[in-house]
Amino acid sequence: MTAGVLLSGCDTDQVSLATNAKANQPVPPKLLAAMAEKDMDLQSPILVRLFKQEAELEVWKQTRSGQFALLKTYPICRWSGDLGPKVREGDRQAPEGFYSINPSQMNPQSAYYLSFNTGYPNAFDKALGRTGSQLMVHGDCSSRGCYAMTDEQIAEIYSLGRESFFGGQKAFQLQAYPFKMTPVNMARHRNNPNMPFWKMIKEGYDHFEVTRQEPKVDFCEKKYVFDATKPADAKRDPVFDASAKCPAYVIPEEIASAVREKQQQDEAAVARLVAKGTPVARMNTGIDGGMNKIFAAKIPEGSTGLSEGAEGTTLQMLAMAKAPGTIPGHVNPPKPNLDSVASAPAPQEEPVVAVAAPATSTRVATAQPTEKSQEKSQGFFSNLGRKMGMGSSETTATTPPPQATASVAPAAAVTPPTAASRLKAAVTRFVPGHDKSKETAKDTAKDAKPAATVAAKPVEPAKPDTRLAQTRPALKPSVSDGAGEATQIMGAAPVISSNSFDSRFGAMK
């Protein structure tokens, strides 16, 4: 019954924009001062832009000159999925594209403090058969296909939208992008399969950049069309249908020429960056979303995920800065999807070719590494992989030490990487402060023995080793496990499972 009330709160014109104290909070004095400085009226129209990679939400507001100017940038506390558009219900993707927010989409009775519905799917999404519903921008810093802010942030954003509606704006535009559409980002993501879609919505991005006006958005032939008007000889405005053939239309020449010039400059810059060897961005499909670095710095073992992060001392310095709002104790920072990593196909490795050693009559014995050094060289994550069942069970060591080698080395067998080794490689990338090179160097130096000692040691007959492997201690829970005092953020409310995202709103996504 409660879910029904929440749903109706998102989709009915009968809901007032200011029926409770949360929805009726005034615009903060600092924002009012910023508006006065930038020649903006309190109730002038707004426009919102979202960027996943930067984990930022921008609120633009119309000045008295008629153009839009940036009022404030809000760091996004959490977004989910990957870079790229939402395709189907349940894929955890936060949408990308152009959407329209009218008063009926404002939800003052949200389970996540306050929220507004993005309007996904729009006509373009529907034409492609994309599915999904109730994709929100809301508070609570918990996301499952949404853009989540802190409660304090969404209160400000909600108040700005409310005032724009009171001022007569019928709907404000929401532009959602994978990243800021700069030449550097376009060059880095040039091999991403979503690039054709991104180039299409970049045209709308460019229209706004050159005009500082909200672009008019239409759809036809399953594509976006921006700022279309009727031809000079037409008697009525063109009628657009996302699935039908495009009608006759033109784009005003002053806009078209400015956009064309910008696109030519951007394409030339991208070509120069590619020629200079700008690396291609790594595809990280096993990571669930991102988080702005200001929030990641506040959470033990926090990670920015797919958003632009800060490393080392920078992240530590951010930990001292004031967070823009309250971070709830149940927040889940981005982390690798271990199931996805473990099930990923094994990477192809180059075959190892046997090489003949120089002819000599000297026989050199090979020292067998001890069980302790083997355990150390395997490392923490390999042990974790075996505990999770991703690797061969090795409770008893039965393999005898290798015999003395002859002058010609036999062909080395190519051993495919195990799920545990892939897990270790994937997780290590997202553990702050973990330096694999230092760990390897330390183990190598400790286990190494002088060559003269090894050569002088007599060869002993092989004996089977039947000792049981040492039992490893249980791992400490991480923040994402939601257990233990170590996961509680200072000043946050205790973690209560019944207050989780899934239990409160999971059925609506």
Burial class (CB in 10 A: 0-12, 13-18, 19+), 139: buried
Give me the catalytic one of 10, 77, 138, 189.
Answer: 138
Length of the chain: 509
Task: From residue 162, give the alpha-carbon distance in Å to each of 12, 66, 67.
Answer: 16, 20, 20
Task: Look at strands 172-177 and 97-101 and give their pairing.
Answer: antiparallel
What distance in Å separates the CA atoms of residue 190 and residue 118, rounded to the nearest whole number? 28
Of the candidates 137, 134, 155, 139, the one whose C-alpha atom is nearest the C-alpha of residue 23 is: 155
Task: Look at strands 136-138 and 147-148 and give their pairing.
Answer: parallel
Q: Strand pairing partners for 220?
A: 223
Rounded to 5°, angle at Cα 195 from 81 and 97: 60
Name the packing angle between helices 195-211 and 253-275 (round to 10°): 130
Of the candidates 3, 12, 1, the one whose C-alpha atom is nearest the C-alpha of residue 111 is: 3
Whether 207 is a known active-site residue: answer: no
For residue 226 the two structure tokens come to 């921006």
DSSP classification of residue 354: P
Buried b (16+ CB within 10 A) or exposed e, 417-442: ebbbbbbbebbbebbbeeeeeeeeee
Rounded to 5°, angle at Cα 101 from 96 and 105: 110
Residues 6+ positions from 147 with CB-CB distance below 8 Å: 50, 57, 76, 79, 94, 118, 136, 137, 138, 176
Give me the catalytic one of 10, 146, 207, 330.
Answer: 146
Whether 141 is a known active-site residue: answer: no
What distance in Å separates the CA atoms of residue 340 and residue 92, rounded to the nearest whole number? 14
Only one residue has tokens 């991102």, namely 290
**Which residues are part of the catalytic machinery?**
138, 146
